[in-house]
Protein backbone atom coordinates (compact mmCIF):
# COMPACT_ATOMS: atom_id res chain seq x y z
CA UNK A 1 0.00 0.00 0.00
CA UNK A 2 1.55 3.29 -1.07
CA UNK A 3 1.27 6.50 0.90
CA UNK A 4 -0.14 9.66 -0.56
CA UNK A 5 2.68 11.91 0.45
CA UNK A 6 6.02 11.19 -1.20
CA UNK A 7 8.82 10.13 1.14
CA UNK A 8 11.52 10.97 -1.39
CA UNK A 9 11.10 13.88 -3.72
CA UNK A 10 13.40 15.58 -6.20
CA UNK A 11 12.09 18.93 -7.29
CA UNK A 12 13.68 20.44 -10.41
CA UNK A 13 17.00 19.07 -9.27
CA UNK A 14 20.15 19.98 -11.23
CA UNK A 15 23.80 19.50 -10.56
CA UNK A 16 26.68 21.00 -12.50
CA UNK A 17 30.13 20.07 -11.22
CA UNK A 18 33.07 22.44 -10.92
CA UNK A 19 34.53 21.10 -14.16
CA UNK A 20 31.38 22.21 -15.99
CA UNK A 21 29.84 18.78 -16.45
CA UNK A 22 26.08 18.84 -16.10
CA UNK A 23 25.45 15.63 -14.17
CA UNK A 24 21.78 16.19 -13.46
CA UNK A 25 19.40 18.29 -15.48
CA UNK A 26 16.12 19.38 -13.89
CA UNK A 27 15.14 16.05 -12.40
CA UNK A 28 11.69 15.66 -10.94
CA UNK A 29 10.69 12.47 -9.24
CA UNK A 30 8.73 11.24 -6.27
CA UNK A 31 8.82 7.96 -4.42
CA UNK A 32 5.95 7.16 -2.07
CA UNK A 33 5.90 4.77 0.85
CA UNK A 34 5.45 1.16 -0.30
CA UNK A 35 6.88 2.00 -3.70
CA UNK A 36 10.08 0.93 -5.44
CA UNK A 37 11.46 3.35 -7.99
CA UNK A 38 14.24 2.01 -10.20
CA UNK A 39 16.56 4.38 -11.99
CA UNK A 40 18.16 2.86 -15.04
CA UNK A 41 20.89 4.41 -17.09
CA UNK A 42 24.42 4.08 -18.38
CA UNK A 43 27.44 5.12 -16.33
CA UNK A 44 27.45 8.88 -15.93
CA UNK A 45 23.72 9.19 -16.56
CA UNK A 46 23.20 10.89 -13.16
CA UNK A 47 21.85 8.02 -11.05
CA UNK A 48 24.50 8.16 -8.35
CA UNK A 49 24.50 11.96 -8.42
CA UNK A 50 20.79 11.84 -7.60
CA UNK A 51 21.45 9.62 -4.58
CA UNK A 52 24.38 11.79 -3.49
CA UNK A 53 22.10 14.83 -3.61
CA UNK A 54 19.49 13.08 -1.46
CA UNK A 55 22.24 12.30 1.08
CA UNK A 56 23.56 15.88 0.97
CA UNK A 57 27.01 14.64 -0.02
CA UNK A 58 26.98 17.35 -2.67
CA UNK A 59 24.89 20.52 -2.89
CA UNK A 60 22.47 20.92 -5.78
CA UNK A 61 23.07 23.64 -8.37
CA UNK A 62 19.34 24.23 -8.56
CA UNK A 63 16.28 22.52 -7.16
CA UNK A 64 15.61 20.75 -3.92
CA UNK A 65 15.58 17.25 -2.44
CA UNK A 66 13.00 16.43 0.15
CA UNK A 67 12.95 13.49 2.52
CA UNK A 68 9.60 13.21 4.31
CA UNK A 69 9.03 16.83 3.38
CA UNK A 70 12.30 18.03 4.90
CA UNK A 71 14.55 20.08 2.64
CA UNK A 72 17.78 18.09 2.58
CA UNK A 73 19.92 21.10 1.82
CA UNK A 74 18.45 23.20 4.61
CA UNK A 75 18.34 20.58 7.33
CA UNK A 76 20.43 17.61 6.25
CA UNK A 77 20.82 16.03 9.67
CA UNK A 78 17.08 16.01 10.31
CA UNK A 79 16.36 14.74 6.79
CA UNK A 80 18.90 11.91 7.07
CA UNK A 81 17.08 10.51 10.11
CA UNK A 82 14.46 9.25 7.68
CA UNK A 83 16.61 7.62 5.07
CA UNK A 84 18.87 4.58 4.92
CA UNK A 85 21.54 3.95 2.34
CA UNK A 86 23.09 0.89 0.75
CA UNK A 87 26.02 1.44 -1.57
CA UNK A 88 27.23 -0.53 -4.56
CA UNK A 89 30.15 -2.03 -2.73
CA UNK A 90 29.52 -2.24 1.00
CA UNK A 91 32.91 -2.45 2.71
CA UNK A 92 32.20 -1.81 6.41
CA UNK A 93 34.82 -2.18 9.15
CA UNK A 94 36.83 -5.31 8.43
CA UNK A 95 38.21 -5.75 11.94
CA UNK A 96 34.71 -5.76 13.38
CA UNK A 97 32.25 -8.62 13.39
CA UNK A 98 28.95 -8.33 11.56
CA UNK A 99 27.18 -7.67 14.85
CA UNK A 100 29.66 -4.98 15.86
CA UNK A 101 29.23 -3.26 12.51
CA UNK A 102 25.49 -3.48 12.86
CA UNK A 103 25.67 -2.14 16.39
CA UNK A 104 27.76 0.84 15.32
CA UNK A 105 25.55 1.83 12.41
CA UNK A 106 22.39 1.21 14.45
CA UNK A 107 23.63 3.70 17.03
CA UNK A 108 24.45 6.21 14.30
CA UNK A 109 20.98 5.60 12.92
CA UNK A 110 19.40 6.48 16.27
CA UNK A 111 18.87 2.96 17.64
CA UNK A 112 21.15 2.85 20.65
CA UNK A 113 19.57 0.14 22.76
CA UNK A 114 19.15 -2.90 20.57
CA UNK A 115 19.95 -6.34 21.91
CA UNK A 116 22.22 -8.95 20.42
CA UNK A 117 19.16 -11.03 19.56
CA UNK A 118 17.64 -8.12 17.66
CA UNK A 119 20.80 -7.83 15.58
CA UNK A 120 20.74 -11.57 14.96
CA UNK A 121 17.10 -11.39 13.84
CA UNK A 122 17.88 -8.74 11.25
CA UNK A 123 20.82 -10.73 9.95
CA UNK A 124 18.67 -13.85 9.72
CA UNK A 125 16.12 -11.86 7.81
CA UNK A 126 18.61 -11.10 5.04
CA UNK A 127 19.67 -14.77 5.01
CA UNK A 128 23.13 -14.18 6.40
CA UNK A 129 24.54 -17.44 7.70
CA UNK A 130 24.30 -17.78 11.47
CA UNK A 131 27.97 -18.67 11.85
CA UNK A 132 28.97 -15.41 10.15
CA UNK A 133 27.28 -13.20 12.75
CA UNK A 134 30.33 -13.05 14.98
CA UNK A 135 32.92 -13.30 12.23
CA UNK A 136 35.10 -10.41 11.24
CA UNK A 137 33.69 -8.75 8.15
CA UNK A 138 37.04 -8.79 6.39
CA UNK A 139 36.48 -12.51 5.82
CA UNK A 140 33.13 -11.85 4.09
CA UNK A 141 32.35 -12.29 0.41
CA UNK A 142 30.81 -9.41 -1.50
CA UNK A 143 27.39 -11.02 -1.28
CA UNK A 144 27.65 -11.34 2.49
CA UNK A 145 28.75 -7.72 2.79
CA UNK A 146 25.80 -6.60 0.70
CA UNK A 147 23.45 -8.57 2.96
CA UNK A 148 24.98 -6.90 5.97
CA UNK A 149 24.63 -3.56 4.22
CA UNK A 150 20.91 -4.13 3.74
CA UNK A 151 20.72 -5.25 7.41
CA UNK A 152 22.08 -1.84 8.35
CA UNK A 153 19.39 -0.20 6.28
CA UNK A 154 16.71 -2.44 7.81
CA UNK A 155 17.79 -1.83 11.38
CA UNK A 156 17.60 1.92 10.91
CA UNK A 157 13.94 1.43 10.08
CA UNK A 158 13.90 4.60 8.00
CA UNK A 159 10.96 5.60 5.84
CA UNK A 160 13.14 5.97 2.74
CA UNK A 161 15.85 3.69 1.42
CA UNK A 162 18.42 4.71 -1.18
CA UNK A 163 20.15 1.88 -2.99
CA UNK A 164 23.06 2.61 -5.30
CA UNK A 165 23.49 -0.35 -7.65
CA UNK A 166 23.12 -2.80 -4.77
CA UNK A 167 23.04 -5.97 -6.86
CA UNK A 168 26.13 -5.14 -8.90
CA UNK A 169 28.52 -8.09 -8.75
CA UNK A 170 26.18 -10.35 -6.80
CA UNK A 171 25.70 -13.95 -7.84
CA UNK A 172 22.16 -14.86 -9.00
CA UNK A 173 21.20 -16.51 -5.72
CA UNK A 174 22.34 -13.55 -3.65
CA UNK A 175 20.61 -11.16 -6.05
CA UNK A 176 17.42 -13.17 -5.74
CA UNK A 177 17.58 -13.09 -1.93
CA UNK A 178 18.25 -9.39 -2.12
CA UNK A 179 15.18 -8.91 -4.25
CA UNK A 180 13.05 -10.82 -1.77
CA UNK A 181 14.25 -8.61 1.07
CA UNK A 182 13.46 -5.56 -1.01
CA UNK A 183 9.95 -6.84 -1.61
CA UNK A 184 9.49 -7.27 2.15
CA UNK A 185 10.68 -3.72 2.80
CA UNK A 186 8.30 -2.46 0.18
CA UNK A 187 5.55 -4.37 1.93
CA UNK A 188 6.45 -2.57 5.15
CA UNK A 189 5.75 0.74 3.43
CA UNK A 190 9.29 1.87 2.73
CA UNK A 191 9.95 4.23 -0.15
CA UNK A 192 12.81 2.72 -2.10
CA UNK A 193 14.86 4.52 -4.72
CA UNK A 194 17.26 2.15 -6.42
CA UNK A 195 19.78 2.97 -9.10
CA UNK A 196 20.70 -0.05 -11.15
CA UNK A 197 22.03 -1.40 -14.43
CA UNK A 198 19.97 -4.55 -14.00
CA UNK A 199 17.03 -4.06 -16.39
CA UNK A 200 15.44 -7.43 -15.60
CA UNK A 201 15.45 -6.89 -11.87
CA UNK A 202 14.20 -3.33 -12.32
CA UNK A 203 11.24 -4.63 -14.29
CA UNK A 204 10.51 -7.30 -11.68
CA UNK A 205 10.77 -5.22 -8.53
CA UNK A 206 10.12 -1.66 -9.71
CA UNK A 207 6.72 -0.08 -9.30
CA UNK A 208 8.07 2.59 -11.52
CA UNK A 209 11.13 2.61 -13.71
CA UNK A 210 12.90 5.71 -14.94
CA UNK A 211 15.59 5.82 -17.59
CA UNK A 212 18.22 8.48 -17.25
CA UNK A 213 20.45 9.79 -19.96
CA UNK A 214 22.98 12.61 -19.66
CA UNK A 215 21.43 13.80 -16.42
CA UNK A 216 17.86 13.82 -17.64
CA UNK A 217 15.01 11.53 -16.81
CA UNK A 218 14.11 10.68 -20.38
CA UNK A 219 11.46 8.07 -19.70
CA UNK A 220 9.28 6.84 -16.86
CA UNK A 221 6.99 3.83 -16.88
CA UNK A 222 4.81 2.22 -14.25
CA UNK A 223 4.79 -1.52 -13.60
CA UNK A 224 1.42 -1.70 -15.34
CA UNK A 225 2.68 0.07 -18.44
CA UNK A 226 5.71 -2.20 -18.61
CA UNK A 227 3.49 -5.28 -18.80
CA UNK A 228 2.79 -4.32 -22.38
CA UNK A 229 6.22 -2.95 -23.32
CA UNK A 230 9.68 -4.38 -23.73
CA UNK A 231 11.83 -2.51 -21.23
CA UNK A 232 15.04 -3.87 -22.70
CA UNK A 233 14.18 -2.53 -26.12
CA UNK A 234 13.13 0.84 -24.72
CA UNK A 235 16.35 1.10 -22.76
CA UNK A 236 18.56 0.18 -25.69
CA UNK A 237 16.71 2.55 -27.99
CA UNK A 238 17.31 5.40 -25.58
CA UNK A 239 20.94 4.52 -25.18
CA UNK A 240 21.41 4.40 -28.96
CA UNK A 241 19.57 7.65 -29.61
CA UNK A 242 21.38 10.88 -30.43
CA UNK A 243 23.06 12.71 -27.54
CA UNK A 244 20.63 15.11 -25.90
CA UNK A 245 23.10 17.96 -25.87
CA UNK A 246 24.00 17.62 -29.55
Partner 1 sequence: MIGVIYKREILDHLKSAKFLIGFCLTLAIAVAATVINVQDYGRRLQDYRAAQRDLPANKFDIQIFRPPEVLSVLVQGKDRTLGNKASVNYMNIPDRLTGYMSERSTPRPKSLSGFGSVDFAFLVRVVLSLLVIFLAYDAVAEEKQSGTLKLALANALPRSSLLIGKAAAGLTVVLGSLLAAAAVAVLIMMVHPAVDLSGADAARILSLVAASALYLTVFYMLSLLVSAAVKRPATALMVLLQLWIFLVVVYPNLGVSIAENFYKLPTDREMAEKKVAAFAPYGDELKKVQAAYFGGDRSQPTGMRYFELQSLRSRLWNDVDRELSLRLSGQLERARWISILSPAALFNRVVERYARTDIEEYDRFLASVERYWKTKYMDFQVLFYKDLPAYRKAATPPFEHPAEGTSEAWAATAPQIVVLALLALIFFAAASTAFLRKDVR
Question: Contact positions toward partner 1, by CB under 8 A?
Answer: 48, 52, 55, 57-58, 77-78, 80-81, 83-85, 87, 89-93, 95-96, 100, 104-105, 107-110, 112, 149, 152, 156, 162
Q: Report the nearest approach of partner 1 to the CB of residue 113 (Å).
A: 12
Q: Report the nearest approach of partner 1 to the CB of residue 91 (Å).
A: 4
Query: Residue 93 or 200: which CB sits closer to partner 1?
Result: 93
Q: Report the nearest approach of partner 1 to the CB of residue 230 (Å).
A: 34
Q: Report the nearest approach of partner 1 to the CB of residue 46 (Å).
A: 13
Query: Residue 94 or 187: which CB sits closer to partner 1?
Result: 94
Query: Residue 40 or 79: which CB sits closer to partner 1?
Result: 79
**Integer Rg of the chain from CA:** 18
Q: What is the dihedral of CA 216, 222, 227, 229, to 10 degrees?
A: -20
Total residue length of the chain: 246
Query: Residue 153 or 234: which CB sits closer to partner 1?
Result: 153
Q: Report the nearest approach of partner 1 to the CB of residue 153 (Å).
A: 9
Q: Report the nearest approach of partner 1 to the CB of residue 158 (Å).
A: 9
Contact 15, 53 (CB under 8 A): yes
Question: Which strands sit side by side in the sheet containing 160-164, from one edge to the other?
Answer: 83-86, 160-164, 191-196, 35-41, 208-213, 216-222
Q: Please name the residues in contact with 219: beta carbons below 8 A apart, sequence gap of 6 or more.
A: 210, 211, 234, 238
Query: Residue 88 or 204: which CB sits closer to partner 1?
Result: 88
Q: Please name the residues in contact with 128: beta carbons below 8 A apart, sequence gap of 6 or more.
A: 98, 144, 147, 148, 151
Q: Report the nearest approach of partner 1 to the CB of residue 108 (Å).
A: 4
Spell out a b/e string for 63-80, using b for 16 or more CB atoms within 10 Å of the CB, else e: bebbbbebebeeebeebb
Query: Residue 132 or 231: which CB sits closer to partner 1?
Result: 132
Is the Cα torsion angle 65, 76, 6, 174 positive or negative in sign?
Answer: positive
Neighbours of 110 (CB within 10 A): 11
Query: Residue 149 or 206: which CB sits closer to partner 1?
Result: 149
The DSSP bridge pattern shows strands 191-196 and 208-213 to be: unpaired
Amino acid sequence: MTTLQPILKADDLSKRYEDGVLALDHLNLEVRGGEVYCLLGANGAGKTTTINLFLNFIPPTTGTCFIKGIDVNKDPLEAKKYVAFVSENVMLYGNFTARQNLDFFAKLGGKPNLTKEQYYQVMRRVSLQEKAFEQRVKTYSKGMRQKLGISIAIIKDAAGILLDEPTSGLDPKAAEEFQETLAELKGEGKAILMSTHDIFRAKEIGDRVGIMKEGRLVMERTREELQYEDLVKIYIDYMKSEPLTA
